[in-house]
Amino acid sequence: MTGPGILFAATEPRWSDYEAPLRAALEAAGVTGYRLSPDLPAAEVDYIVYAPNSSVQDFSVFPRLKAVLNLWAGVENVAPNPTLTVPLARMVDEGLTRGMIEWVTGMVLRHHLGLDAVLARQSGDWLPVVPPLARNRPVGVLGLGALGKACAGALATLGFPVTGWSRSPKTIPGIATRHGEAGLAETLSGARILVLLLPLTGATRDLLDARTLALLPRGAVIVNPGRGPLIVDEDLIGALDSGQIGHATLDVFREEPLPRDHPFWAHPGVTVSPHVASETRADTASEVIAENVRRGEAGEPYLHLVDRGAGY
Ligand code: NDP
């Protein structure tokens, strides 16, 4: 009996990086008789391993498609696709989570310890500036999902008082949690450093505009590895120019690559990072994909299903 047909429909990450880890993970998961290729006839495709840059845009051409397995955590490019009528799973991967914890804690500590000023003061002048302890620097984390919750926990372990905001109410040991409009205002008003780990949906687009940026304490720092359109660019520049926002470290942008003439590049209050906060790792991500293929074949519920109504 033949097993499932699995189409690798991504150009980035590369097939050459995924072929061996995917085969190893499928075999370890006990999936047998599978065909895995970047080039399968549409009639033989049961699963699509997907990324936003995929040439596949019309899912209706795959008559026996069972599920689309996204290699990225964010699904804003595929969730609204009207031709997609089968389950969509997104990536929750231990490697991705560890990478995000490292990037977020690194950026938060950079601002907390004033490392930019230390690096700029290598002039021979002895100018001791003692940073406050983390416990005196409240941090807000917008989004308490796989990544936001992990980063909030790591920051709390370092001693930062962390308040997190999500769509639904949550209880997380060591983290103050908020939800709803009033909860957003409360989270923002206390956050001297704000980390954005929200997905991009109709409800989160333009969340940080002139009105909400004004709720932050004066001089607050923004760290955004979530998605560019969570922030209104012009309003952020206005808030940086007025001193309302002290600095913005941005990993994601409305347009990527960020155009060379975008004002963020030249702004002294902005650090541009080229969407590298965290990457899906081929070895750990392949295990997630393989487990979902195994589940699909066994008739078990998929891991990390997207709620397409909510958009994430
Ligand atoms: P999850 O889906 O696990 O978590 C999303 C969180 O956001 C949840 O806590 C959810 O609330 C909350 N949320 C969603 N909509 C709203 C809303 N309208 N109001 C308040 N809270 C809301 O996502 P992940 O943690 O896995 O990933 C988050 C995002 O990080 C991704 O969507 C992607 O955009 C970005 N990312 C960036 C990378 C990079 O390299 N820069 C790498 C990977 C991801 P609730 O818990 O109630 O559902």
Task: Over range 264-290, report the average pLDDT.
Answer: 97
State the catalytic residue, choosing from 179, 275, 295, 308: 275
d(CA 22, CA 39): 15
Q: For residue 54, what pLDDT is reported?
A: 93
**pTM exceeding 0.90:** yes
Is 195 a pocket residue for ligand 1 (Cβ < 6 Å)?
A: no
Whether 259 shows a pLDDT value over 90: the answer reads yes
Question: Structure tokens of 284?
Answer: 């750990």
Peptide bond connecting 138 to the previous residue in cis, omega within 30 degrees of 0: no
How far is the centre of ligand 1, averaged over its atoms, from the C-alpha of 91 (Å)? 12
How many Å apart are CA 123 and CA 276, to the nearest integer? Answer: 32
Closest protein CA for atom 26 of ligand 1:
146
The band of 2, judged by pLDDT with boundaries at 50, 70 and 90, is: confident
Atom in ligand 1 nearest the alpha carbon of residue 252? 41
Which residues lie across from 231 on neighbouring strands? 208
Task: Give the C-alpha distances (Å, rounded to integers) separating 208 from 8, 112, 144, 235, 299.
Answer: 36, 22, 17, 8, 42
Longest dimension (CA), the chain: 76
Question: pLDDT digit string (tens) for 39-97?
Answer: 999 999 999 999 988 999 999 999 999 999 999 999 999 999 999 999 999 999 999 99
Q: Which amino acid is at 108?
A: V
pLDDT tens digits, one per residue of 188-199: 999 999 999 999
pLDDT of residue 1: 57
In angstroms, what is the span from residue 267 Cα to ligand 1's centroid? 27
- In the three-class reduction of DSSP (H, G, I as helix; E, B as strand; rest coil), residue 143 is classed as coil
Assess whether 275 carries a catalytic annotation: yes
Contacts of 252 (CB under 8 A, 6+ apart): 224, 225, 226, 227, 228, 275, 277
Write phi, then psi, for 147 (nearest 5 degrees).
Answer: -85, -45
E-only strand ranges, 5-143: 5-9, 35-37, 47-50, 67-70, 88-89, 139-142
pLDDT tens for each residue of 143-187: 999 999 999 999 999 999 999 999 999 999 999 999 999 999 999
- What confidence score (pLDDT) does residue 16 get? 97
Residue 191, CB half-sphere, CA atoms under 13 Å: how many?
32
CB 140 within 8 A of CB 187: yes
Atom 5, ligand 1: residue with shortest CA distance: 145
Q: Which domains does the chain have, with CATH numbers?
A: 5-93+280-298 (3.40.50.720), 94-272 (3.40.50.720)
What distance lies between CA 25 and its chain's CA centroid?
Answer: 24
What per-residue confidence (pLDDT) applies to 232?
99
Mean pLDDT in the chain? 97
Q: Cα of 171 to ligand 1 centre, how many Å?
A: 17
148 CA distance to ligand 1 centroid (A)? 7
Whether the link from the prior residue into 257 is cis, omega within 30° of 0, is yes
Q: Is 211 among the residues known to form the active site?
A: no
Average pLDDT for 91-117: 97
CA distance 181 to 178: 9
Sequence-ordered list of residues with C-beta below 8 angstroms from that of 122, at least 6 positions apart, any chain: none
